[in-house]
Structure 1
């Protein structure tokens, strides 16, 4: 028989904490819906973060030759980090959207409306890309 996960964590940590699964699921769904619906904003945030990371890293080097030697690898790494960090504003907005729905309606409505928002944003994104492609 497998040990219970809660009991194992209780042995490792001297305190107990609860994660609200409904809050996490609803917030993630709303974050995804906002990321899909406002994808040009996400691309702009990624570009700005990439520019900032490249600028900040440039200030760490004193020699131009050493900077140019590893430039391509560092710019690729900065682009990766920028794409990862670009979701943070959408996660914060998703948490706020889910919190407002939780207060105004109830817990389970955050997941339901998040699913509907994801479907609507996905359909909108398909239509927007099709319109861009046909132009």
Structure 2
């Protein structure tokens, strides 16, 4: 019955999902300071938004540690969404430019390259 309400059908190819996720991982690794910034901003926003839900300061302070930990978890999970969008665009660009057969392969190469870059960046920060 509810299927009759949907006028069009949306089909998503599994290789497009895999390619977008590979590109999202590569971008998340390659731009990890941006990912950390996004996590920090989301965490700040969650803490600010949740503060407005409490009318009592005592109740707010009593449950503060648990809520801040929960908000940090949610922020880290939701921080991948902008990278998924950018990854989908990168995957679409590779598919349009090189063809569908290259999208997954180039995504894997991007993940390896960005992973090696991230390891080198962290090693350089550690030695400073």
Structure 1 counterpart of 2:113: 120
SS at match of 1:120: helix
The aligned runs of 1:41-120 (5 Å cut-off) are: 41-120=34-113
TM-score after normalising by structure 1: 0.86
Greater CA radius of gyration, 1 or 2? 1
Cα deviation, 1:58-97, whole Å, max 9, x if unaligned, reads: 0011110010110100000000000001000000000000
Residue 27 of structure 2 corresponds to 34
Question: Quick one: distance in 2 between partners of 1:126 and 1:59?
Answer: 40
Say whether the 8 Å CA contact 1:22–1:108 is kept in structure 2: no
Please state how far the C-alpha of 1:104 moved relative to its aligned partner: 1.3
CA RMSD of aligned residues (A): 1.5
Q: After the TM superposition, which of the residue ranges 97-106 and 16-25 deviates more from structure 2?
A: 16-25
Report the Cα distance in structure 2 between the residues aligned to 1:109 and 1:64, rounded to whole angstroms: 56
Following superposition, the deviation at residue 18 of structure 1 comes to 3.9
1:111: how far off?
Answer: 0.4
Inter-partner Cα distance in structure 2 for 1:19 and 1:110? 15
Residues 30, 97 of structure 1: 8 Å contact kept: yes
